[in-house]
Amino acid sequence: MRAVTQTAYFMRQGAANLSRHPLYAAVGVLTLTVSLILVGFLGLFLYRANTLVDRLAGGLKLTVYLAPEVTQPAADELSRVLKGQWPEVKEVSYHTELEDRERNLKLLPAELVADLEPELVPAQPFLEVILDVDLLDQERAEALVKWFSALHQVQGVDEVLFGSQKIAAAFSLLSGARTLGIFISLVIVLAAVFFVLTTTRLIVEGRRREIEILLLVGATPSFIRMPHYIEGTIQGIAAGLLSYGVVWFLQRHLMTTLRSEALLQVPLDLLPPGMVAWFLAGGILLGFVGSALGLVRHLRFLR
Domain ranges of the chain: 2-51+176-302, 58-162
Q: Summarize pLDDT for 118-131 with one digit per residue, the tens.
A: 666 777 888 888 87
Of 15-19, 39-43, 48-52, least confident by mean pLDDT is 48-52
How far apart are the two ends of the chain, measured CA to CA in Å? Answer: 28
Q: Is pLDDT above 70 for 270?
A: yes
How confident is the model at residue 241, as a pLDDT?
94
Q: Summarize pLDDT for 184-239 with one digit per residue, the tens.
A: 878 888 887 887 777 777 777 766 777 777 777 777 777 778 887 888 888 889 99
Percent of the chain at pLDDT > 70 equals: 77
Q: Is pLDDT above 90 for 244?
A: yes
Label residue 220 left, alpha or beta by phi (over 0 means left) and psi (-120 to 50 means alpha). Answer: beta
pTM of this structure: 0.60
CB 202 within 8 A of CB 290: no
Helices and strands, number each (H, E), in the chain: 12, 4
How does strand 126-131 pair with strand 61-66? antiparallel
CATH of 58-162, one of 3.40.50.300, 3.30.360.10, 3.30.70.3040, 3.40.50.620: 3.30.70.3040
Task: State the average pLDDT over residues 85-112.
Answer: 79
Task: State the average pLDDT over residues 94-107.
Answer: 79
Pairwise CA distance, residues 216 & 288, whole Å: 27
CB 235 within 8 A of CB 199: yes
Task: State the average pLDDT over residues 101-126.
Answer: 72
Which has more confidence, 106 or 77? 77
